[in-house]
Amino acid sequence: MDVRQSVVLAVGVGVGLLTAAAAYKLYVRSSQMKNSKQLVKGWKACGVVSQIHIFPIKSCQGIQVEEADACEMGLVNGELQDRSFMVVNENNNFLHARIHPTMVLIKVSISGNKVELTAPSTESITFPILSQSGTEVKVRVWGDEVTAFDCGDQAAQWLSQYIFQKDSGARLVHLPYTRVSPRTMKTKPCFPWMRKTDGAVFTDYTPFHLLSTESVQDLNSRLTDEKEVSTLNFRPTITISGCQPYEEDEWRFIRIGEEAVFRYVNGCSRCVLTTIDPAAGIKDPEQEPLQTLRKYRLAEDPLLRKAIGESPLLGINLSLDQPGRIRVSDVVYVGQL
């Protein structure tokens, strides 16, 4: 254990659970302020960053990095931008691993203006990024329309063969952060911290997702050994350690290192994607860990329960309050409201 981890464990954190009324009051106050950090009276250490992942292609394999820049649209490390690529079908609706679980095995590497895709039992492919000269297409993410750039027939044929075992059916699109603004989020009373500007582009919700290893360890303590999962089942961009299980539920402002500040948007509701083994691309036949999560992590708030139903909560979705670079082993601070 290093010095920073020792400090974190010694300091601890005592954030009280916010009532819905208190959360809404704080949300209204923050909405009226130019800078939401005005709500924070001070910072307390609550853990350290243990892993950082960037998922360049939505629903495909992530890349673990030691550091990244937290930008409005998501994490960036050199040429890697989180979820700046997406696979779509012939109707330009996004394809995802919930229906096509082997997508989680597609690896991507980017060098210069070239993208390489690899997958099991499939020859790799390398193709140029066409975001400056490619054809613009209208694609849809959960019903929201976004303009992106088609990555060409070579990538399309490779993905179609891998996903559908035929020459058509899938295409790859790209939208670099420099050419985009966030999708408009649909705010709801059950998400009092959400703002219309909290969306990203190809992510389901917000640009950042945080999860603690302690929460996953507690979940594993409720599963049999052969059903244990890793944090990668939940695809967080930021994984932390050194806190209590599920403590992240109560954090509303989070600072990582000395610069980057994130704002809580909502708890992350979980779906069948969590049942896919990230190393094998196979769904668990008994729908674990989803079934176990439903036994103790369903929403307690009636409005939220009505909105998300039987989807259990694990981890939190975040928006960016202040940009900055984050690194593995950075101390994570929670804002005292």
pLDDT in tens, 8-47: 343 333 333 445 555 555 555 555 444 556 889 999 999 9
Final residue of a structural domain among 176, 210, 240: 176
Final residue of a structural domain among 130, 154, 176: 176
Q: Is the pLDDT assigned to residue 180 strictly greater than 80?
A: no
3-state class (DSSP) for residue 48: strand
Claim to verify: residue 151 and residue 196 sit in the same structural domain: no
Claim to verify: residue 91 and residue 161 sit in the same structural domain: yes
Mean pLDDT of 122-151: 89
- Rounded distance between C-alpha atoms, residue 149 and residue 152, angstroms: 9
Claim to verify: residue 192 and residue 322 sit in the same structural domain: yes
How far CA 187 is from CA of 22, 63, 155, 196, in Å, comes to 18, 31, 36, 6
Task: Considering only residues 6 and 193, tell me which one the structure prediction assigns the higher pLDDT.
Answer: 193
DSSP classification of residue 276: B
Domain count, the chain: 2
Residue 32 lies in a domain: no
Contact 291, 299 (CB under 8 A): no
Pairing of strands 114-119, 122-128: antiparallel
- Rounded distance between C-alpha atoms, residue 233 and residue 171, angstroms: 25
Final residue of a structural domain among 156, 176, 196: 176
Q: Which band of pLDDT confidence, cut at 50, 70 and 90, is reported for residue 62? A: very high
How far CA 80 is from CA of 98, 112, 179, 268, in Å, comes to 24, 11, 15, 24
Claim to verify: residue 56 and residue 153 sit in the same structural domain: no
pLDDT in tens, 267-308: 999 999 999 999 999 999 999 999 999 999 999 999 999 999
Task: Kindly report the CATH number assigned to the domain that includes residue 252.
Answer: 2.40.33.20
Q: Where does residue 162 rank: exposed (0-12), middle (13-18), buried (19+ CB within 10 A)?
A: buried
Claim to verify: residue 300 and residue 223 sit in the same structural domain: yes
pLDDT of residue 268: 98
Residue 288 lies in a domain: yes
Residues of the chain with pLDDT > 90, as a percent, come to 78
Claim to verify: residue 115 and residue 223 sit in the same structural domain: no
Mean pLDDT of 250-256: 97
Claim to verify: residue 172 and residue 188 sit in the same structural domain: no
3-state class (DSSP) for residue 206: coil
- Rounded distance between C-alpha atoms, residue 118 and residue 122, angstroms: 7
pLDDT of residue 37: 67
Residue 52 lies in a domain: yes
In sequence order, the 6+-apart residues with CB closer than 8 A to the CB of 32 are: none
3-state class (DSSP) for residue 94: strand
Residue 2 lies in a domain: no
pLDDT of residue 187: 87
pLDDT of residue 16: 38
Residue 231 lies in a domain: yes
pLDDT in tens, 72-105: 999 999 999 999 999 999 999 999 999 999 999 9
Q: Is the pLDDT assigned to residue 3 strictly greater than 70?
A: no
Predicted TM-score of the model (pTM): 0.89
Claim to verify: residue 228 and residue 301 sit in the same structural domain: yes
- Residue 149, domain extent: 85-176
Range in 105-119, 184-198, 204-218, 252-266 the model is least confident about: 184-198
Claim to verify: residue 199 and residue 152 sit in the same structural domain: no
Q: Which band of pLDDT confidence, cut at 50, 70 and 90, is reported for residue 177? A: confident
Residue 79 lies in a domain: no
Closest CA to 38 of 25, 47, 29, 28: 29
Claim to verify: residue 127 and residue 236 sit in the same structural domain: no
- Rounded distance between C-alpha atoms, residue 261 and residue 257, angstroms: 9
Claim to verify: residue 224 and residue 328 sit in the same structural domain: yes
pLDDT of residue 14: 38
Claim to verify: residue 171 and residue 189 sit in the same structural domain: no
Q: What mean pLDDT, rounded, does the chain reach?
A: 90
Range in 159-168, 195-204, 262-271 the model is least confident about: 195-204
pLDDT of residue 186: 84
